[in-house]
Amino acid sequence: MKILIIIIRTLIGLLLLFVSVGFFLKLMPEPVDTGNFKAFDVGVVSSEYMMPLAKGIELLCGLAFIFDCYVTLASILILPIILNILFLDYYLTPQALPISIFLFIGNFFLIYKHWNNYKRLFAVK
């Protein structure tokens, strides 16, 4: 089980790192926007801070997953971004859905395996 945790953590970390570094260094071509995705993309890009903020969090969490530092914090921090990626892919770009499903299930698997670290967060006082 420990090897499975390492594999999933590393794959998620590499994926997040690849996408965020590609965004900041402009290594990937701009996707062709059509229909509803174009409207969404125009809104996000026009805010000017949203994409760099999300990609910065992806970069930090990717590094945390790869180097096995602060994985508990990184899993919770990246969860809203992965959830947004999952819904975006489901509704607007279904061809990328398998990757986002892997990110979502893999992150929940890591949260489940580190659940003892989260117990104090959810304790009722």
**What is the distance between the alpha carbons of residues 77 and 36, in angstroms, rounded to a whole number?**
27
Percent of residues in the chain assigned helix, strand, coil, to nearest 5: 80, 0, 20
How many other CB atoms are found less than 10 A from the CB of residue 78? 24
Indicate the range of 19-28, 55-64, 73-82 predicted with least confidence. Answer: 19-28
pLDDT at residue 89, as a whole number: 86
pLDDT at 34 over 70: no
Residue-level pLDDT at 96: 86
* Mean of per-residue pLDDT scores for the chain: 89
For residue 31, what is the enclosing H or E element? none
39-77 pLDDT tens trace = 777 777 777 788 889 999 999 999 999 999 999 999 999
Supply the pLDDT for residue 31.
65
Closest CA to 26 of 62, 2, 52: 52
pTM, to two decimals: 0.85
Residue 114 — pLDDT band, cuts 50, 70, 90? very high
**pLDDT exceeds 80 at position 37:** no
